[in-house]
Amino acid sequence: MSKKDKVYIFDTTLRDGEQAPGASMNEKEKLDVAFTLERLGVDIIEAGFPVISKGDFNSVKSVAKHIKNSTVCGLARSIKKDIDACADAVKAAKSSRIHVFLATSKIHLQYKFKRTKEEILKMAVDAVRYARTKNDDIEFSPEDASRTDKDFLFSVVEAVIKAGAKTVNIPDTVGYGVPSEFGQLITDIKNNVPNINKAVISVHCHNDLGLAAANSLAAIKNGARQVECTVNGIGERAGNAAVEEIVMALQTRNDYYGCTTNIKTREICRASRLVSKYSGFVVAPNKAIVGANAFRHEAGIHQDGVLKERTTYEIMKPEDVGFVETGLVLGKHSGRHAFRVRLKSLGINLKDDALDHAFDRFKLVADKKKQVFDEDLIAIAEDETKLVPKTWQLVSLVVTSGTKIAPKATVVIKSKGKASEASSSGDGPVDACYKAIEKIAKGKGELLDYSIQSVTRGKDALGEVTVKVKLKDKKYIGHGASTDILEASAKAYLNAINKMIAQQAK
């Protein structure tokens, strides 16, 4: 296909996605997500908003240093200190970009900036010109473009391209647009901006009305050649256009869109699972492309049709987006080599201690479960990855509970080889367990959210627990996996505490 038929995937999971209320990733988790996005094949990774905090600056800098095959981008307001911070953060990248934005809609000018159109136009041009002194690849976004006066929008786009912007992004910032209208906006920009052929038209759509993917695809149909999106559609308020939905729509309906991307679609489910784990947002079963029910059929008519010919009720193959088979792969008699080879086939490479710990966990699970599935192996491996130093580790847990007795938990946890024991009562077994842990770890946390997700089906399924905990005025997300939900709960809480300790040690 010609270059004009290539759609660039600009992933903003690490910036807009992480801005979703309740989502927060540490530097190591962000880097792990960045590696996953690079493996997925995204063209541009928007790694963060460098000026907002030292942590965000360091995260963007770390991504820029390690990512080699994707362009690394940072976000900046149209002011020099933002642009300077962004330039410094991305300068180590093999390929870098500065993304400058400024609101242009009447409502933003009147209430947020209290400035005239002429003043906003000058600010935009000055920002792009200044950014060009720092980096050759500049993207400009007129924030709230879908509610901006069209003639003014055309003037801004023309001016920033003349000032040096190579990409102009048209955001539907509040999810106000509808597909026919938003698609027409792209056509109008092409027809009314004289120098538009000197820049790539991008779009960034929010999902407030559930139309983010539809609006993005309408824009592509009308000439946009970059789309900004996030894994699982996470982001501000109702989220962003989901990368998996955009990519698979373009691939499945190539006859209609005539466009291609660089995305390796078999990596989609892996990316989805990782982002869900680190953000703490569980993917809904009915989520398009990556939901647990996306390729399941229960109605008899559907089952009969699929058995006779898959395409009767499936327009995509599960394996095309990386769904692993739910089949027995290993047992308690399997050796370390077979375990390592199977993990590698699932795209997981563990080394040294991490592999040893994961193998030991696998043996324990294999003793408890009659069947060990690929999903179990993935959960075990992810639970043992050393993204966070295990300052505190669970040794043992004993809980007594019932309808007529007060729940009580006795936990033994260790740090630096020294084990400590404590007991506590609570409103329930999990509460009792957490209070006992707090006695030893010397820190009281506020549990903000607690969720359990079954990795596979069956009464002996491995369970994943995700907690959001407020510790010393900061929020941390913890994860734990086990066939015993109380054990998984304890591990999740300790994971959150260990994140806090690691953060404080910096």
pLDDT tens digits, residue range 106-127? Answer: 999 888 877 899 999 999 999 9
Q: In angstroms, rounded to a whole number, what is the distance separating the alpha carbons of residues 164 and 180?
A: 30
Residue 347 has a CB neighbour count (10 Å cut-off) of: 16
Look over the chain and give the mean of its residue pLDDT values, rounded to a whole number. Answer: 89
Q: What is the pLDDT of residue 148?
A: 97
Please compute the mean of the pLDDT values over residues 469-479 and round it to a whole number.
87
Is residue 376 very low, low, confident or very high in pLDDT (cuts 50, 70, 90)? confident
Residue-by-residue DSSP string for 201-253: EEEEEB-TTS-HHHHHHHHHHTT--EEEEBGGG--STT-B-BHHHHHHHHHHT
Residue-by-residue DSSP string for 243-268: HHHHHHHHHHTHHHH--B----GGGH
Q: Are 39 and 68 in contact (CB under 8 A)?
A: no
Flag whether pLDDT at 334 surpasses 80. no
Flag whether pLDDT at 392 surpasses 50. yes
Q: What is the pTM of this model?
A: 0.82
Is residue 387 very low, low, confident or very high in pLDDT (cuts 50, 70, 90)? low
Least confident range of 4-8, 76-80, 394-398, 446-450: 4-8
Q: Where is pLDDT greater, at 292 or 178?
A: 178
- 57: phi then psi, degrees, rounded to nearest 5: -60, -50
- 65: phi then psi, degrees, rounded to nearest 5: -70, -35
Q: Where is pLDDT greater, at 310 or 300?
A: 310
Residue-by-residue DSSP string for 119-177: HHHHHHHHHHHHHHTT-S-EEEEEETGGGS-HHHHHHHHHHHHHHT-SEEEEEETTS--
Is residue 400 very low, low, confident or very high in pLDDT (cuts 50, 70, 90)? very high
pLDDT tens digits, residue range 8-21? Answer: 999 999 999 988 87
Q: Where is pLDDT greater, at 46 or 364?
A: 46
